[in-house]
């Protein structure tokens, strides 16, 4: 059986891989992310995903390594993870009542093969009241999430509609990822 390694400490990506019965291990990448506004978001997420996967592959050369990265963009500006409560508040106010694009990039690497792709999903928020934002900030959920919200958590209450892959907004477009992993000989374990 081929060894699959997730180059991420993201609990959401871990849960998605477990949800589809993939056998994998986790080695958290030490790659330092830098968000450049001069690189298109579709390229940025692939570059960051590659950096993470390649970092782990150098120490796990016998493995197939999966790296991923997700960014939220509003008016072509990348919104990273909020640095403070005030920063998260500003992000959520900026997203209120508007559409934004979430990009997730995926890179799968082995010593012989490479696959990379991205998904872009449009998300529209309801108009948010100040009380909604403050209550959400009190949950602590926004602080480790790109754009300051998690669609899979309480942040779902802000989402009016999405157009595209829901799981890409969570952090890993799992359906496309599974199809790409097949080329590496990685398949879900089906328990009968």
User: Which residues are known catalytic residues?
Assistant: 69
Chain centre to alpha carbon of residue 39:
18
CB 115 within 8 A of CB 178: no
> In this structure, how many other beta carbons lie within 10 angstroms of the beta carbon of residue 55?
19
- Token pair of 80 as six digits: 């990273």
3-state secondary structure of 25: strand
CA distance 71 to 60: 27
């Amino acid at each position: 059986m081929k060894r699959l390694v997730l180059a991420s400490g993201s609990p959401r990506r871990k849960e998605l891989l477990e949800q589809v019965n993939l056998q994998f291990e986790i080695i958290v990448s030490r790659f330092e992310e830098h968000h450049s506004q001069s690189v298109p978001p579709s390229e940025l997420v692939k570059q960051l995903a590659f950096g993470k996967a390649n970092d782990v592959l150098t120490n796990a050369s016998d493995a197939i390594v999966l790296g991923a990265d997700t960014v939220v963009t509003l008016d072509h500006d990348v919104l990273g993870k909020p640095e403070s409560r005030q920063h998260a508040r500003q992000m959520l106010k900026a997203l209120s009542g508007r559409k934004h694009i979430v990009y997730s990039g995926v890179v799968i690497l082995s010593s012989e093969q490479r696959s990379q792709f991205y998904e872009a999903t449009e998300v529209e928020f309801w108009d948010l009241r100040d009380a909604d934002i403050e209550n959400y900030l009190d949950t602590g959920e926004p602080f480790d999430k790109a754009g300051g919200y998690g669609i899979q958590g309480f942040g779902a209450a802000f989402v009016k509609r999405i157009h595209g892959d829901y799981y890409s907004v969570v952090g890993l477009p799992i359906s496309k990822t599974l199809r790409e992993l097949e080329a590496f000989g990685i398949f879900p374990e089906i328990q009968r």
